Structure 1
Amino acid sequence: MTEILQDQLPPPQTVENKLPGVGPCDPDDWLQVDEAYAAQMTYRAELLAENREAVLWMDPAALPAAQEVLEEALHLLPGLGFERVGDEVICPDGRIVPLDHQQPLLTLGHLVQEDICILQKQGDEHVLTGAVLCFPANWRLAEKAGKPLIGIHIPVPDYTDDIARRVQRMFDGVRAGRPLWRFNRLSYVEADLHQPRRKAVGEVERFDRSERQCIIRMPRTDAVIFTIHTWVVRR
C-alpha cells in the first residue's frame, strides 16, 4: 500500500455537507497544488506507466474537449508554481513534462494532482467520454466509461432519483467562466489513494479521505469537466 498523507483537510472541507452541496468556485481555482504534490505525482506516474488501461480512457470523439481542458489548465499553471518553456512544463517538484496535445489527458495526468473527467451532452444526459482517474474511491473507470451520470453514480446509496435530476440540471446549467465546487468526506481503513474497490471495510477506520470536486464548462467545446482533488489525512 502506498501511504501519502496531507497535513490536514482544508477548513471548508471539515464541515458537514449534504448532497449535492454545491457552491460557486473561483474561475481560477479549479486546480490546486498542496504539500502532497510531489508524492502524489510520483504515484500517478507509476499508475500511468504500469496500469494505464485502468486509469486512462478516452472516446476518440472527446479529443477536442480534452485538448481544450489542457489549454485551459496551461493558463492557470504559472500561478501554481509551474513554468512553461516551449513545449515542456517544469513542475513544482522539478519534473519536466513534455506537452502532448494528441494525448492531453495523459499529459494532464503527469502535470496536476486532480483526476479529470470529461462529460458531454448526448441526448438528455451528460455522458462520461474520457478521464484520467488515478485515485478512484470505490469505482472503476472501465465500468463507467461511456455511461450517463446516473450510471456513473450507481450504486452510491445516497444518490436518489431526485438528486440525480438535480445533478443533471446542475450540469446543464453550469456556465463557462462560472465553475462550481463541492466536496465529500469519508473515513477509510487504508490510506491508499488508488482504491477502485474500497479496502478492508469493517476494520478500524484510521484515515479521513476528502475529495474537492469542481465542475467547469469549457467555453469552446461546451464539454463539462469534473475534477477531483483528493486529500487523505490521519484521523
Structure 2
Amino acid sequence: MTEILQSDIPHDVTAPKPLPGIAPLEMAEWLQVDEAFAAQMAERERLLAERRGDVLAVTEAGQGAAAELLEVVLDWLAGNAPAYDVSATQVLRPDGVTVTVDRDDPMGTLGQLVQEDLCILEKQGEEHVLTAAVLCFPASWRLADKIGRPLTTIHVPVPSYDEGIARRVQRLFDGVREGRPLWRFNVLSYAAADLYQPVPRQHQSALGGGPELPFLRSERQSILRLPKTQACVFSIHTYVVRKPAQTA
C-alpha cells in the first residue's frame, strides 16, 4: 500500500518514559490535526468501508458512552479546531470532506471525523473494560481479541505490563478528572509503514533495529473522562516516520 508518513514526530521519542509515563494535557490540545490528515482520513474511510467488523466494535454496555463521546468530540471541534466547520448535522473537515453526523452510528461517525483512534473503557467491578472502539490503526493487536475485556487482559502479552504497572494504570483510570486529560507516548521500530497492523509483525520496542526496521511508529495516547457516563476515552494519534539514513 501507499506509505502514509509524517515528516517528524512532535515529541521527543529519544526519551520515552517507563510505563505508565503519564503527564497532564491541556483540554485544548486533546485532539490533533497534522500534515498526514488527509491521507490518514482516506485510509480510515477505506478501512471502515472494507473492514468495519475488524476496526469498529460497540458492546451493549458501551452504547451510551459512544453516543456521549460523539457529542463531546463535536463540541470540542467547534470550540478548539477552527479548521473544521461543525454543525449539528454535518462536519466539514480540514481536507474539504463533508461528514454527515449519524447519531445512530456514533463510533462510525467519529472514525470519519478525527485522526485519533478512540477506545471507550468503563468501570465494571474493579477494572475498566473496553466497551466500544473505532480502531483503524492498531499496532500489533486485534480489536476483536480485546473488546469486552478488562485492562489487564487488554495488555497481555506486553512484557513490561506486570501486576505493579497494572495497578498503577488502573489507578490512573480511576483518578482521571473531567476536563483534565492525561497523555503519554510510546515508540517502536517497525519493518513496514502500514497503519493497519493488527497482527504482530517484526518490530522492536527500541530506537534501534537495524536497516530491516526502517520506520519509527509512535502513538500519542491520552485518557479523558466523559462527564455524564463517567466513561474513560483512550485516544491514539499515530505517527509513522522513516528513520534518517545512517552514515558510515
Q: TM-score when scaled to structure 2?
A: 0.91
- AA in 2 matched with 1:56: L
Give the secondary structure class of the aligned counterpart of 2:186.
Answer: strand
Residues 155-205 of structure 1 deviation map (CA, whole Å, 9 limit, x = unaligned): 011101100010001101111111100000110010000001133458711
Give the secondary structure class of the aligned counterpart of 2:121.
Answer: strand
CA shift, 1:76, in A, is 2.0
* Greater mean deviation of Cα atoms: 16-25 or 78-87: 78-87
- AA in 2 matched with 1:213: Q
- AA in 2 matched with 1:217: R
Map 1:76-155 to 2 at 5 A.
Answer: 76-78=76-78, 79-80=80-81, 81-155=83-157
- Is this contact kept in 1: 2:90–2:101, CA < 8 A? yes
Distance change >3 Å, CA 187–CA 103, structure 1 → 2: same
CA shift, 1:85, in A, is 3.6
CA shift, 1:27, in A, is 1.4
Alignment match, 2:230: 222
Q: TM-score when scaled to structure 1?
A: 0.96
Alignment match, 1:18: 18
- Is this contact kept in 2: 1:184–1:210, CA < 8 A? yes
Give, in whole Å, the separation in 2 of the partners of 1:86 and 1:153: 37
- Is this contact kept in 1: 2:16–2:186, CA < 8 A? no
Q: Tell me if 1:205 matches 2:213.
A: yes
Distance change >3 Å, CA 95–CA 14, structure 1 → 2: farther
- Is this contact kept in 2: 1:144–1:152, CA < 8 A? yes
* Greater mean deviation of Cα atoms: 188-197 or 56-65: 56-65
- AA in 2 matched with 1:157: P
Give, in whole Å, the separation in 1 of the partners of 2:31 and 2:103: 19
- Structure 2 runs not aligned, ≥5 long: 204-208, 244-248
Alignment match, 1:184: 186
Distance change >3 Å, CA 97–CA 7, structure 1 → 2: same
Distance change >3 Å, CA 112–CA 14, structure 1 → 2: farther
- Structure 1 runs not aligned, ≥5 long: none
Give the secondary structure class of the aligned counterpart of 2:41.
Answer: helix
Give the secondary structure class of the aligned counterpart of 2:46.
Answer: helix
Q: How many residues align?
A: 235
- Is this contact kept in 2: 1:57–1:130, CA < 8 A? yes
CA shift, 1:15, in A, is 2.4
Identity rate, percent: 57
Two-structure CA RMSD over aligned residues (Å): 1.3
Distance change >3 Å, CA 181–CA 234, structure 1 → 2: same
Alignment match, 1:40: 40
CA shift, 1:61, in A, is 2.5
